[in-house]
A and B are shown apart, each in its own frame.
Chain A
Amino acid sequence: MNSRETGGGEPAIVAEHLHKRYGHKVAVDDVSLRVEPGEIFGILGTNGAGKTTTVEMIAGLRRPGRGAVSLLGLDPRRDRATVRQVLGVQLQESYLHGALTVSELIGLYRSFYPDPRPADELVELVGLEEQRRVRFEKLSGGQQQRLSIALALVGRPRVVILDELTTGLDPRARRRMWTTIERLRDEGVTIVLVSHAMEEVERLCDRVALLDAGRVVAIETPAGLVARAGTQTLDDAFVALTGKQLEDVG
């Protein structure tokens, strides 16, 4: 069973009642969400709200304690080989082969996919033209982050999960990355964006899931969240809905 049919109308991602505990600590208590094809879907919450664990379960990196995930109609763990062809993931704090250069790493990751994006296009998408021959370990934190994003896009994925897209990037690089994300949306790619940054969420996301203590507090458009909380800004809406201050990183 090497191939699957996926309908054009069904959701890109369906997560139902996800639950995950590490030892005695419950990281994700009960998370359900649906992401429509072509949508930019934000996952917003404080540190420890369960954002990363949620997307790691969606990506098939962690097995849910309870609940189920469907990605383009596939099970990320059982249909691993198929899902890897259509899903691009940027992990938080992931490291790459330190002694390899930007070009070499892009070449390596391109070799994993049947129809990869051209190397030049990837370098240009994340603005690393000047760093092609620089080793990964010599890149700045922001440059490493940008390369990591480029590698998530190598295989022309239909769904992309970006965990902390612009954390650690300077304002210019951040805006450039936003333009890149909008370009992907225009290509019809579905994007899940884990974020701390309100400005980013407001500008990019069609809808947002607000997570608090491992649970979904609300799923709404950014404007809908503001209206629902009866506040002026998304920042205030976040505080009103979760009772917590969002530490805006970067």
Chain B
Amino acid sequence: MSTVIEARRPGVRSWLTLVGCEAKMVVRDTAGLVVPVLLPLLILVMSAQSAGDQVVVGELTALEVYVLPLVLTMVLASIGIINMPSFLAYYRRSGILRRLAVTPASPAMVLVAQVIVSVLQALVGLAGALAVAFLAFDARPPVDLGAAFAVYGLAMAAMYAVGMIVAAVAPTPNSAVAIGLITFFALGALGGMFGGASGLPETLAVIGERLPFGAAVAALSAAWVGGPVDAVHLISLGVATVVGVVTAALLFRWE
């Protein structure tokens, strides 16, 4: 008597179940939703009224030129740099990835599902901020919509790449949150998160503009106005992406 064992990979249903489970993990981690979703909204609501009255170029106000690019960048940066690494560190520490390694699902499946969910989370944060800006404060959409999407995509890659560095160097889930928060606020401060880069000493402002947060804000702002996006900012985002991926590939441990 003999039997044939089939090597079968989990199918679509399994992927959907996994994405659903990862989504539940994210939604039930209430504290993890505050920074990516509520903090940007708070900043938007607090500054939208006055910013909406200051005309900067043409019909665009400070709301579109400064506030929205900043708020949308905050959504991406907080999810990529704080949330994603803390989930990764938790999974690694707790042995969840190891447990999955003895099932037909691979740990990589979990990570892909995690990325899908976190992109969805970023889109929810984005949609929330835009809905409030458009409906409550009469914001206008970007003049160059294509460039805005392209910049947003590139900025997302750069923020996740920075997050991968955090995940790679953090020894524990706790330190991942700490390192993520410090990185987020440092990049944010230099990128104009606390009252605009013009208030910073010039050297710091120049550095901040070349780091991923400041570069993302500046490039998004340019796309909103419809002006040319400065190559320096695109290169900065590209370099951050490459450096992050390479560093993570060299340093990241599964266990």
Contact = CB atoms under 8 A, between A and B. Distances in A.
A100 B102 contact: no
Contacts of A7: 1-2
A82 interface: yes
A5 B7 contact: no
B74 to A, nearest CB: 25
B4 interface: yes
Contacts of A60: 102
Given A79-B7, A100-B21, A113 B95 contact: no
Specify the main secondary structure of chain B where it touches its partner: mixed
A99 B14 CA distance: 19
Contact of A108 (B9, B18, B98): B18
A59 interface: yes
B98 A91 contact: yes
B202 interface: no
Contacts of B98: 61, 91, 94
A93 B96 CA distance: 10
B102 A3 contact: no
B130 to A, nearest CB: 29
Contact of A86 (B5, B17, B105): B5
B103 A99 contact: no
Interface centre among B2, B28, B99 (most CB of A within 10 A): B99
Interface string B1-44: 11111111110011001100100110011000000000000000
B10 A85 contact: no
B104 interface: yes
A112 B96 contact: no
A85 B104 contact: yes
A49 to B, nearest CB: 21
A2 B6 contact: yes
B94 interface: yes
A97 B7 contact: no
Given A96-B96, A97-B96, A72 B102 contact: no
Interface in B88-124: 94-96, 98-99, 101-105
Interface residues of A, number: 40
A5 B5 CA distance: 7
Instruction: Identify the interface centre among A72, A87, A97: most chain B CB within 10 Å of its CB.
Output: A97
A86 B9 CA distance: 13
Interface string A54-88: 00000111000000000010100001011011110
A114 interface: yes
Contact of B102 (A89, A93, A98, A113): A89
A4 B98 CA distance: 26
Given A95-B95, A108-B17, A4 B102 contact: no
A155 interface: yes
Given A3-B4, A6-B3, A81-B7, A95 B94 contact: yes
A155 B103 contact: yes
Contact of B105 (A72, A94, A112): A112
Interface of B: 1-10, 13-14, 17-18, 21, 24-25, 28-29, 94-96, 98-99, 101-105
Interface of A: 2-8, 59-61, 72, 74, 79, 81-82, 84-87, 89, 91, 93-100, 104, 107-109, 111-114, 135, 151, 155
